[in-house]
Structure 1
């Protein structure tokens, strides 16, 4: 920090706010710290009684907050993301498309541990809409050591910390099992729920087949949707451990690889995930999806729509934050459900 005459300050950077006070009218900040002084600013500064001001003494080893903010932004910015204008060492990251937000949490923590800079984000693996704010970044001091920003660059060198994977268009088949529905004893309540949740994405519903509790019939219904070009098949009913609940066995008999039968999420413990020929998800939904506002289906569906192949480890990690509190007024996703992933 260095004091110089105001008339010689054009092009220099203010080190502190300059306050303007007009009696009984206003008290505000006329010039904020970090402002680069222009020719037209000089008369205003003099009128505020500032014959001398403190400016930032530029050094080859230091960076101004806005220069450093650009570096921090570029470390963060990945696919389908843009940024706001830089202001006072701050840049926001904005979604350019609807999609799944992916964050390298470990490297994010590494950057935030460097000190004098910060990145605050939304939660990882959640869907976002075009125009949504994804993260806010800021350089804390007015000037920061260039060496510190070099450390941040090393952390973000190979891959940006944030990316958005655009949702894909998918063809979906629905297989509903159960003698009680097939024979008309009760009305199907599962199909409308699934269709409503899928409607949040770009999907083509190929249809819904209702079949009885017969292993072969369930498998044939799944195979018919595969033959029609389904990108995903959702099976409902017959997902508990009762002897006559045959859906898991029918899914396995199609040749699909079972990734997991069961997940540490409530509601949703009896969830089944499998992949046919390694790329077509066939999922079995437990009964809770029919009557609970939010379940494991809400946590898994965004990743499936972004073509992220889930592993058993991915499902295991959902246990942290996997308890829905079933609030009277559901505020999801603005709550803790699924936030530990």
Structure 2
């Protein structure tokens, strides 16, 4: 992944700051219908995060970003310009998530997210701001700054208040996770309640600017993960059971995370065989999509199970090693 962000970031900065790149004298006029058609592609890539392999999806997001930038948004009428910049920001957010969370390329992931925030500022898209600040919350927290993760999540919630109901629900769910990671059950519950209120209200799916998908089943998965972080493992198991019963099979990354959280809960609750089954289920999904953060969680569960010396633990060791090798090979192929 070394240097993977360099080419698209040049285009991002040029789009935000006209004149950074010398263009031909005659620009190409783009009409609103074209922007709408490009938006269908952008939405498909964002929604495709549910189940597309990370390396291929990162390449697709970068290529689509470059296509959008090639239309010279800074030379277009305001409505067209805003639409192109918003979609560029969406692809930056997607690339940031895939690079950081799925492929473990943390510096590239943060660079995409930072550039995406510049694009959001340029076009004034509140849902895009919310999406990017929520992404930064994950990046900040997963690098060890839990309080910083809360700050970023609260910024996402603030921006989402001016956006769609589904985006507000998701940002509140992210905020609940950040509070749970800090051991703040009161704050966690407050944002879980806010998320449930908004996801159960009428939502405009056409306005969803997020990555993957967010619905009541995914909110159940967030709550289950929060309960694991808060040390309430029996309650977590019940909530994660509900989530896995209702998460759409196409939501492979979401299901992999839920299985990993349930494996963690089963381990602490003293059910190692069930934990191993969930770890295998998560790894089987990771083979299809890649997700470095979930692999890290399964690795931690495996380390806690290893001292039990169960025969099933040895098979988990083999499976974990195979998936780690596969994901590392996929990352090397992108260098």
TM-score range, shorter chain: under 0.3
Q: Which has the higher helix share?
A: 2
TM-score normalized by the length of structure 1: 0.23
**RCO (CA 8 Å, sep 6+): is it higher in 1 or 2?**
2
TM-score normalized by the length of structure 2: 0.24
